[in-house]
Amino acid sequence: MKITAAEVFVGGPGKNYVTLKIMTDQGIYGLGDATLNNRETLPAAYLQDYLIPCLIGRDPRNSEDIWQYFYRGAYFRGGPIAMAAYGAIDMALWDIKAKLADMPLYQLFGGKSREGALVYAHAQGTDLEELLDSIAGYQEQGYKAVRVQCGIPGMPSASYGVSAQKGKAHNYITDFQGDAPHEEIWDTDKYLRFIPRALDRIRGQFGDELKLLHDVHHRLLPREAAQLGKELEPYRLFWLEDPTPAEDPAALRLIRQHTTVPIAIGEVFNSLWDCKQLIEERLIDFIRISATYGGGITHLKRIVDLAALHEVRTGFHGAPSHSPISMAAQAHLNAWAPNFGIQEYLVLDTPECDALFPSEHRVENGLFHVSDQPGLGVDFDESEARRYSYKRGFHPVARLEDGTLWNY
Ligand code: GCO
Ligand code: MG
C-alpha cells in the first residue's frame, strides 16, 4: 500500500481550519488537522513545501516510522508549527489504518472504557449577571461541567475568555481578525479580589453538583496563583487552568506547596518533553495538550500513558482552535483512555461547520458520544471547502495599566 498524493486546504466558516487529506493507491484516504490558531498558513506551508513530498510512495500503515522519520529526522525538532504538521499527518494515517481495519479508531487502542466522555462548555459574561445566565443556559442543555470566565469590575477591557460585547459569544477568529493584535488591559489585583467573590455567587446559585472550571490564562505570578488556589478551595473547582505561564514548570512546585486546588496545564505544549516534569513530579492533575499541536495520536497516546503512571488525567484542549478532525482524534482517545478526565468542547458546531466536516460524533447531556464509523468518523467536503479562504487574525496582546506588556 502506498501514499499517492496529499493536499492541504486552509479556510472554513468563521475560522481558518488547516485540513490535510492523504490519498492512497487503494482508494482509502485519511484526514488530519494542522490548525495552529492565528498562524494557520505556517503548518500548511511546512506540509506543502517539505513534508508532503517526503510522504509520497511511503506505506501509510507505518505511522510510527513516519512519525519518527519526521520528528527525529529533523535537525530542528518540535515547536508548534512542526508538531501541528506532523500531527495532521499522523491523524490521517491512523484514519487510514482504522478504515482498513473497518473499525472505529478507539478499537485499535483497546476499545471503549466508557459510554460517553464528560465535556465542559464555556460559560462567560461581561459581568457576573451575564455569566450566571450563561451557566444556567448550559445547565439547561444538560452540561454537567462549565468553564466560568467573567469580566472584572473596573478593568478597562474584558478579561481573557470573555467577549468584549455584552451578549456576544466569543468567536476565536472573527473577534481576532485584522492586521495587528487588539490590546487588552490586565489588572491582577482587581482580578484576585473579584474571582473568589464570583465563585462564591456561582456555587451558591448552582449548588454542589455542577462541575466548575476556571482558566487564568497564564496571567499570575506563582505566589499570586498559590493565593488564588487557596482562596478558591471552598468552591471545589474541577480545575484551575494555566495559573502561571506554562514554560516554567518549577513555578508549580510553589503553587502545590500552598493549595490542593486541581491544576490543569498544557494547551500550549507541543511535546512529551514539555509535559514530562509536570507529570512526573505530580505538579498537575490534568494534562491539556491537543492532538494537533501535540504531534497527533501517536505522540498524544504516549503522553496519556505517562500521565496514567502518575495519576494525571486527560483534559485535552478543545477550543475552536482545532477542527472537528482533531476533536474526533481526541474523542477516540477519550473513549479508550483509562485516565480520561474531561474534554473541552467548543467546536463551532454551526450548520456550515457540520456541512464541511460531516460526522456522527455527538454531544448529548454533557457527554461526548464517539462515532462508530470506521476510522476517525469525520469526513471533509471539498466542494464546501471551496467556499472559504484564509483570513488573517491575531491573538490579543495584554498590557498592564501602565503599558507594561503582560502574558496573554
Ligand atoms: C482554552 C484556551 C483557548 C485559547 C485559544 C488560543 O482554554 O480554551 O485558553 O481559549 O486562548 O485556544 O488559541
Ligand atoms: Mg485555556
3-state secondary structure the chain: CCEEEEEEEECCCCCCCEEEEEEECCCCEEEEECCCCCCCHHHHHHHHHHHHHHHCCCCCCCHHHHHHHHHCCCCCCCCHHHHHHHHHHHHHHHHHHHHHHCCECHHHHCCCCCCCEEEEEEEEECCHHHHHHHHHHHHHCCCCEEEEEECCCCCCCCCCCCCCCCCCCCCCCHHHECCCCCEEEECHHHHHHHHHHHHHHHHHHHCCCCEEEEECCCCCCHHHHHHHHHHHHHHCCCEEECCCCCCCCCHHHHHHHHCCCCEEECCCCCCHHHHHHHHHCCCCCEECCCCCCCCHHHHHHHHHHHHHHCCCEECCCCCCCCCHHHHHHHHHHHHHCCCCCCEECCCCCCHHHHHHCCECCEEECCEEECCCCCECCECCCHHHHCCCCCCCECCCEEEECCCCEECC
- Determine the angle formed by the axes of helices 188-206 and 128-140, rounding to 10 degrees: 40
Catalytic annotation on 106? no
CA 242 – CA 264 distance, rounded (Å):
6
Q: Which atom of ligand 1 is nearest to the CA of 344?
A: 8
Whether 96 and 24 have beta carbons less than 8 Å apart is answered as yes
Q: Which atom of ligand 1 is nearest to the CA of 122?
A: 8
Query: Where do you find CATH 3.20.20.120 in the chain?
Result: 108-373
- pLDDT for the residue numbered 176: 72
Q: Measured in angstroms, how far is the CA atom of residue 173 from the centroid of ligand 1?
A: 12
CA 124 – CA 273 distance, rounded (Å):
33
Q: Is 267 in the pocket of ligand 1 (CB under 6 A)?
A: yes
Q: Tell which one of 40, 217, 267 to mutate to probe ligand 1, the residue whose CB is within 8 A of the most ligand atoms.
A: 267
Length of the chain: 408
Q: Is 285 in the pocket of ligand 1 (CB under 6 A)?
A: no
Ligand found nearest the CA of 346: 1
Closest to 62 measured CA to CA, from 34, 27, 35, 24: 24
CA 140 – CA 365 distance, rounded (Å):
9
Q: Measured in angstroms, how far is the CA atom of residue 37 from the centroid of ligand 1?
A: 9
- Determine the angle formed by the axes of helices 296-309 and 63-71, rounding to 10 degrees: 90
Closest to 299 measured CA to CA, from 66, 108, 44: 66
- pLDDT for the residue numbered 171: 64
Q: Tell which one of 124, 148, 217 to mutate to probe ligand 1, the residue whose CB is within 8 A of the most ligand atoms.
A: 217
Q: Tell which one of 321, 342, 408 to mutate to probe ligand 1, the residue whose CB is within 8 A of the most ligand atoms.
A: 321
Q: Measured in angstroms, how far is the CA atom of residue 116 from the centroid of ligand 1?
A: 24
CA 190 – CA 142 distance, rounded (Å):
33
Residue of 122, 170, 217, 322 marked catalytic: 217
Residue with cell 461541567: 145
Residues of the chain with pLDDT under 50: none
Q: Is 319 in the pocket of ligand 1 (CB under 6 A)?
A: yes
- pLDDT for the residue numbered 177: 74
- pLDDT for the residue numbered 179: 85
Q: Measured in angstroms, how far is the CA atom of residue 240 from the centroid of ligand 1?
A: 14
Q: Measured in angstroms, how far is the CA atom of residue 389 from the centroid of ligand 1?
A: 23
- pLDDT for the residue numbered 14: 86
CA 110 – CA 82 distance, rounded (Å):
29
Whether 184 and 398 have beta carbons less than 8 Å apart is answered as yes
- pLDDT for the residue numbered 155: 87
Residue of 17, 160, 191, 345 marked catalytic: 160
Q: Measured in angstroms, how far is the CA atom of residue 319 from the centroid of ligand 2?
A: 8
- pLDDT for the residue numbered 321: 86
Q: Is 344 in the pocket of ligand 1 (CB under 6 A)?
A: yes
Report which residue type is found at 68. Answer: Q
The closest residue, in CA terms, to atom 2 on ligand 1 is: 319
3.40.50.300, 1.10.3720.10, 3.40.50.150, 3.20.20.120: CATH of 108-373: 3.20.20.120
- pLDDT for the residue numbered 319: 81
Would you say domain 3-104 falls under CATH 3.30.390.10? yes
Catalytic annotation on 17? no
Query: Where do you find CATH 3.30.390.10 in the chain?
Result: 3-104
- pLDDT for the residue numbered 174: 64
